[in-house]
């Protein structure tokens, strides 16, 4: 409570206490008076009532009756005031609980939780114990609310709170920080980290168990970060609840970055990295506003004929500060900070306008982020870009990853079906690295499978790699799905692929990705530019380039961000 509220509350309690004492004093005086006079007068009063005779002590009798009335009034007033004080005390306790507790989960809220951790830190210092703070964030919780409604989302939060209560040791603190983020604090003996790791493992394991509510059932995972006072290199730092939660939050972010459904201990280097990522996020926002992101194009070749059949658009960031930045650096940051949709829309618009000048037989494919596939309006937005630029849907192909299927299959089915109905081709990218099942391949409207570059790289070095590629080829043939191989970098890999069947391929063996102007010059030289291509022009074969003939790798982000 604030100081002003404390004063008002104290004054109110003092006033109630004064009224309480007055009522009690009246009742006490009435009792004493009644005891002093009632023993003598009461028999006379009763005798007078029974004989109907007039008594000379009638005034005294009236005084006794008045005394009885005062006694009853005083006692009744005292009991009423006592009940009122009790109800007020209960209401104050309830109000205090509401001010300190999250009403949905029963956990402490942030306002009350941080002081509770500070008190635990003080006690731990006195007893020479340590304190570990864990921050838990539920993975993909927003999708549960979006797909199943907030009732199921609320039930998930309640179930997590119940698990915290049941798994955490006695005396621990559980806090709902807000949304789907929880924090907890545990006091433990010096250098007994194994106990904390055991608790973290149990929390992760139990949270993964299915949660059912009103006919719905969901599975969810959590990413967990841990910070502790038991750090030799952190002894000089001032240990407060704010500091520990901040560090645990940074460690939790690392757990999400490394694949989620796990935990990480805080390390000082993580804070430096997070600070740098925050700077990078700001630079990306400025880059989007200043139109610094540009499309590059990687050739796609018919491996049987060597003919150029299309391009895949790849994002690059032409940053004045960092140089030419590869997408592996900025795409994850853009996805985490909900910048990917705006960034992707800008790049696709540029690519569609560029591709309008290509030979009409050349296709354009673009990668779509799993984040975009969660947006129910994505199909409409993409079709709007095609209409705006006048690019034919039949020449356009989107590539989605297996991660998209795992995260939100229903949304992917709706979006891909809508786009397929408009003539857009759908490819499953990085096939073999995720969770796609045969049923999903049969039920979703895919037009092509793309073999991940890691399998192509092992094609000539690893017998198992070759067997896996052969299995993917057989699966594609069985489902009547053409195949594109990514990452073709050697002549040996190219020959191995040719021996397995008919492929479309791409990779550095055919050249590095090029910007729009260089691509346009290439097409003009080969007669595949719309402005120079005649109706009888035949696409020219692209000769594979030896490794030492490839163009130099474009300059990438400097320092720590070399891509």
What band does 560 get if pLDDT is binned at 50, 70 and 90?
very low
Which residues are 428's β-sheet partners?
A: 400, 449
Work out the angle at residue 382's Cα, subtended by the Cα atoms of residues 379 and 383, and round it to the nearest 5 degrees: 85
Rounded-to-integer distance, Cα 530 and Cα 357, Å: 5
- Whether the predicted pLDDT of 465 surpasses 90: no
Cα 505 from Cα 484, distance rounded (Å): 5
In this predicted model, what pLDDT tens digit does every residue of 499-555 receive, in sequence order? 888 889 999 999 999 999 999 999 999 888 876 544 444 456 665 654 433 333 334
Mean pLDDT of the chain: 81
The dihedral sign for the CA sequence 356, 359, 361, 362: negative
Write down the pLDDT at residue 80: 74
Q: d(Cα 11, Cα 14) in Å, to the nearest integer?
A: 5
User: Which residues, in sequence order, are bridge partners of residue 257?
Assistant: none
The count of C-alpha atoms lying within 13 angstroms of the C-alpha of 120, restricted to the half-sphere facing its C-beta, is 25
**More confident site: 562 or 378:** 378
Backbone region of residue 511 per phi and psi (left: phi > 0; alpha: psi in -120 to 50; beta: other values):
left
pTM of the model as a whole: 0.65
* Residues designated catalytic: 180
- Asked if 249 and 209 count as a contact pair (C-beta separation under 8 A), the reply is no
Structure confidence by residue, pLDDT tens digits, 274-297: 888 889 999 999 999 999 999 999
321 is written with which tokens? Answer: 């500060």
pLDDT tens for 23-65 read: 556 556 656 655 555 555 556 666 665 555 555 456 656 666 6
Record the tokens describing residue 442, joined without a space.
């049969």
pLDDT band at 336 (very low <50, low <70, confident <90, very high): confident
Among residues 325, 322, 324, 300, the alpha carbon closest in space to that of 313 is found at 300
pLDDT band at residue 476 using 50, 70 and 90 as cut-offs: confident
Please, are residues 351 and 364 in contact by the beta-carbon 8 Å criterion?
Answer: yes
Q: Which residues of 126-149 are buried (b: 16+ CB within 10 A; e: fewer)?
A: eeebbbbbbbbbbbbbebbeeebe
Lowest-confidence pick of 14-23, 317-326, 363-372:
14-23
Mean pLDDT along residues 341-357: 96
**pLDDT, position 313:** 97
Q: Which residues, in sequence order, are CB contacts of 509 under 8 Å at separation 6+?
A: 488, 489, 490, 491, 493, 494, 544, 545, 547, 550
Q: Please tell me the predicted confidence (pLDDT) of residue 555.
A: 41
Whether the CB-CB separation of 474 and 438 falls below 8 Å is answered with: no
pLDDT band at 149 (very low <50, low <70, confident <90, very high): confident
Q: Average pLDDT, stretch 146-167?
A: 86
Distances (CA, A) of 386 to 351, 367, 377, 383: 11, 16, 15, 5
Token pair, residue 232, equals: 């030799």
Q: Which residue has the tokens 């569609």?
A: 352
Q: If we measure between CA atoms, which residue out of 294, 297, 418 comes closest to residue 347?
A: 294
For residue 71, the model assigns a pLDDT of 66
User: Can you list the alpha helix ranges (DSSP code H) found in 290-326?
Assistant: none
Tell me the DSSP string of 493-511: HHHHHHHH---EE-SGGG-
Confidence bin at 337 (pLDDT 50/70/90): confident
The stretch 122-139 carries a mean pLDDT of: 92
Half-sphere exposure of 230 (CA within 13 A, CB side): 20
What's phi and psi for 152, nearest 5 deg?
A: -65, -40
Judged by phi (left if over 0) then psi (alpha if -120 to 50, else beta), residue 149 lies in left
- Asked if pLDDT for residue 452 goes beyond 90, the answer is no
Q: Summarize the confidence of residues 159-171 as an average pLDDT.
A: 92
The average pLDDT across 85-92 equals: 72
- Mean pLDDT within 210-214: 77
Burial environment of residue 451 by CB neighbours within 10 A (0 to 12, 13 to 18, 19 or more): buried
For the cut 60, the answer to whether the pLDDT of residue 461 exceeds it is yes
pLDDT tens-digit map of 187-205:
998 888 899 999 999 999 9
What are the pLDDT digits (tens) for 218-249? 888 899 999 999 875 554 457 899 999 999 99
Q: What is the DSSP string of 105-164?
A: T--EEHHHHHHHHHHHHHHHHHHT-EEEEEEEEETTHHHHHHHH-HHHHHHHHHHHHHHH
CA gyration radius, the chain = 38
Strand partners, 211: 218
Predicted confidence band of residue 4 (pLDDT cuts 50, 70, 90)? very low
Tokens of 277: 């990522």
Q: What confidence tier does 74 reach under pLDDT thresholds 50, 70, 90? A: low
Q: Which residues of 287-319 are buried (b: 16+ CB within 10 A; e: fewer)?
A: bbeeebbbbbbbbbbbbeeeebbbbbbbbbbbb
């Amino acid at each position: 409570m604030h100081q002003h509220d404390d004063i008002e509350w104290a004054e109110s309690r003092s006033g109630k206490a004064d009224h309480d004492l007055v009522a009690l004093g009246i009742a006490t005086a009435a009792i004493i008076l009644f005891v002093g006079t009632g023993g003598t007068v009461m028999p006379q009063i009763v005798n007078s009532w029974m004989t109907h005779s007039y008594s000379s002590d009638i005034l005294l009798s009236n005084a006794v009756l008045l005394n009885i009335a005062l006694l009853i009034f005083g006692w009744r007033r005292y009991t009423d005031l006592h009940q009122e004080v009790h109800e007020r005390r209960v209401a104050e306790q309830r109000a205090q609980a509401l001010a300190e507790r999250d009403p949905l989960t029963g956990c402490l809220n942030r306002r009350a939780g941080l002081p509770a951790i500070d008190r635990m830190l003080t006690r731990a210092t006195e007893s020479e114990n340590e304190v570990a703070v864990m921050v838990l964030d539920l993975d993909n919780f927003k999708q549960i609310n979006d797909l199943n409604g907030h009732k199921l989302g609320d039930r998930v939060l309640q179930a997590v709170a119940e698990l915290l209560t049941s798994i955490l040791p006695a005396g621990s603190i559980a806090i709902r920080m807000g949304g789907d983020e929880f924090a907890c604090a545990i006091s433990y003996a010096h250098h007994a980290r194994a106990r904390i790791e055991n608790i973290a493992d149990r929390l992760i394991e139990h949270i993964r168990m299915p949660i059912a509510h009103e006919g719905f059932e969901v599975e969810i995972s959590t990413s967990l970060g841990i910070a502790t006072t038991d750090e030799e290199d952190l002894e000089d730092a001032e240990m407060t609840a704010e500091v520990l939660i901040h560090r645990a939050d940074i460690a939790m972010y690392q757990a999400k970055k490394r694949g989620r459904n796990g935990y990480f201990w805080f390390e000082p280097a993580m804070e430096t990295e997070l600070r740098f990522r925050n700077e990078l996020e700001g630079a990306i926002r400025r880059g989007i506003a200043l139109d610094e992101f540009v499309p590059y194009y990687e050739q796609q070749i018919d491996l049987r004929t060597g003919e150029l059949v299309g391009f895949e658009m790849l994002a690059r960031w032409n940053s004045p500060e960092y140089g030419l930045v590869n997408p592996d650096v900025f795409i994850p940051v853009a996805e985490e900070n909900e910048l990917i949709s705006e960034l992707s829309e800008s790049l696709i618009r540029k690519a569609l306008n560029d591709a309008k000048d290509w030979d009409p037989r050349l296709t354009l494919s673009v990668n779509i982020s799993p984040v975009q596939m969660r947006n129910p309006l994505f199909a409409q937005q993409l079709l709007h870009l095609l209409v705006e630029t006048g690019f034919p849907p039949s020449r356009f192909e989107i590539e989605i990853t297996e991660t998209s299927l795992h995260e939100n299959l229903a949304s992917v089915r709706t979006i891909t079906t809508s786009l397929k109905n408009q003539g857009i081709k759908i490819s499953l990218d990085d096939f073999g690295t995720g969770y796609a099942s045969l049923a999903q391949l049969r039920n979703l409207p895919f037009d092509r499978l793309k073999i991940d570059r890691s399998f192509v790289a092992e094609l000539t070095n690893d017998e198992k790699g070759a067997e896996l590629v052969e299995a993917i080829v057989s699966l594609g043939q069985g489902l009547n799905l053409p195949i594109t191989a990514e990452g073709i970098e050697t002549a040996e890999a190219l020959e191995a692929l040719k021996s397995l069947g008919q492929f479309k391929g791409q990779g550095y063996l055919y050249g590095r990705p090029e910007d729009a102007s260089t691509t346009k010059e290439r097409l003009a030289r080969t007669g595949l530019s719309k402005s120079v291509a005649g109706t009888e022009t035949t696409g020219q074969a692209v000769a594979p380039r030896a490794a030492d003939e490839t163009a130099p790798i474009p300059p990438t982000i400097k320092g720590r961000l070399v891509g």
